[in-house]
Chain A
């Protein structure tokens, strides 16, 4: 009989900070240079070399901390994590242990069951290792130290993600956050954003966590979901056949869609952390923190609250715009100059504009439509010059030509007929031409009203102002 299991996942995300130089040396941190060409004497761990911390790395880490509303300590400290590996030149990694720069915080994610808050245990600064290249030679592993010493923040979540999908949603939320803050270039191929997933299973409803396996080095949203799902399946099979899960490090093989045990890092697991004696403690002053707070763009959470309060957007609409950097900026720019109501703007943006983007598979920032032109279209709608239906048509034109809404409306004669005399004339003629339908309406068939609206629209090719049309029709039909 198959048992029911709860899945528990915690993620450790490594975010490469978008810096010019390394965390502890003045060597370039740029990706893609020729092997070992960006290695300082410190990065190669020549005897006597000493680390000096990059100020921007501290500030970026603080910015991330502020953005997740984290506890920021007054004093932070670097520690040595000791292990031997050929791409770790010093024989230890400078990281943080007891006093990380970012303490407990939280972030909102979107799940299938709605929004959820995920707690973040901590985030700390550390240096990356170099690269071991195993396929260059048959008998050798080749070492490139360009990456050694580049700055990372490691973001550690609480084990409170309960499915592969949630893990991906959380990873996306962190990804969006660090790219939004501009502290990470977000380049997944170059390893700027990588993740280790701790996966464990426990009997449904049980309190105690099961033994976990750690899947290392996942650098795509697709792979992480597949890897976790594979791992869940693997552990389930083990447990249901009465075997146990071994606490170990595993690698995901995307080609085979499998995880496999990693032997290399097994034997030495006692990292012997201790405070790095080359680096005194760092005092995070209120002044430094205030400066970073000021340098921060408005966060999605704050935008969301402001949209609801200031502009009375529906919560769903506000969330959808606030959490999309490009959309929020477009929305705010257009709203600053249009006479249209914010709620109208939001509706049109989320449904009609989005549909257009989806249709073309494009991003907002790549379109020819400027926020100014878009605001013009909103104005035309607000003043009744065009209907929403026509507005969509105009938007399509704007997409291809990049022209202003006003120009398109004028050139193509798309303006609504709001001249009441002209409309009255048209309506009078239609009533005269359709005596039977008039009689039916008068006999109580209310549906006939829509027939007349349809006739007016047909005759005006949809340009009749619907509100005025309705008013005039009501007046003339009921007026004998």
Chain B
């Protein structure tokens, strides 16, 4: 399995990362070293094996439907680079 430049551009787009032409070449190469390395997992016979999505051998706990949080509005908005008194602000999004 190897990732070509076109695929890498798509991946970078999905991950919202920017790659210039020079980087694309370099990143492609280093990613393909890794994909070559991980290729071996395909050889293992796993027909009878369920994926182990989690090392937890217990079930999910649940919480009661109770409001436990006060407002953190000022605290949170103060962390943002762009915000007014009420909102986070981002460059205009066109739907």
Contact = CB atoms under 8 A, between A and B. Distances in A.
Given A86-B90, A143-B90, A280-B56, A39 B72 contact: yes
B58 A280 contact: yes
Q: Chain B interface mostly helix, strand, loop or mixed?
A: loop
Interface in B1-35: 13-14, 16
Interface string A131-157: 011101111111111000000000000
Interface string A232-256: 0000000000000000000100000
B81 interface: no
B88 A142 contact: yes
A63 B94 CA distance: 39
A27 interface: yes
Contacts of A139: 91-92
Contacts of B37: none
A281 B89 contact: no
B76 A21 contact: no
Interface string A72-90: 0000010000101010000
Contacts of A267: 13
A283 interface: yes
A428 to B, nearest CB: 76
A99 to B, nearest CB: 10
Contacts of B91: 139-141
A28 interface: yes
A246 to B, nearest CB: 17
Contacts of B93: 86, 132, 134, 141, 264
A20 B66 contact: yes
Nearest to A132: B93
Nearest to B57: A280
A270 interface: yes
A279 B86 contact: no
Given A28-B69, A37-B73, A55-B64, 6 more contacts: A26-B68, A36-B77, A39-B73, A143-B88, A277-B53, A283-B59
Interface of B: 13-14, 16, 53-54, 56, 58-69, 71-73, 76-77, 82, 84, 86-95
Interface of A: 19-21, 25-28, 34-41, 44, 52-58, 77, 82, 84, 86, 132-134, 136-145, 251, 262-264, 267-268, 270, 272, 275, 277, 279-283
18 contacts: A20-B66, A21-B66, A21-B68, A26-B66, A34-B73, A39-B72, A40-B72, A55-B64, A139-B91, A140-B89, A141-B90, A142-B89, A264-B95, A270-B14, A277-B54, A279-B60, A280-B60, A283-B59
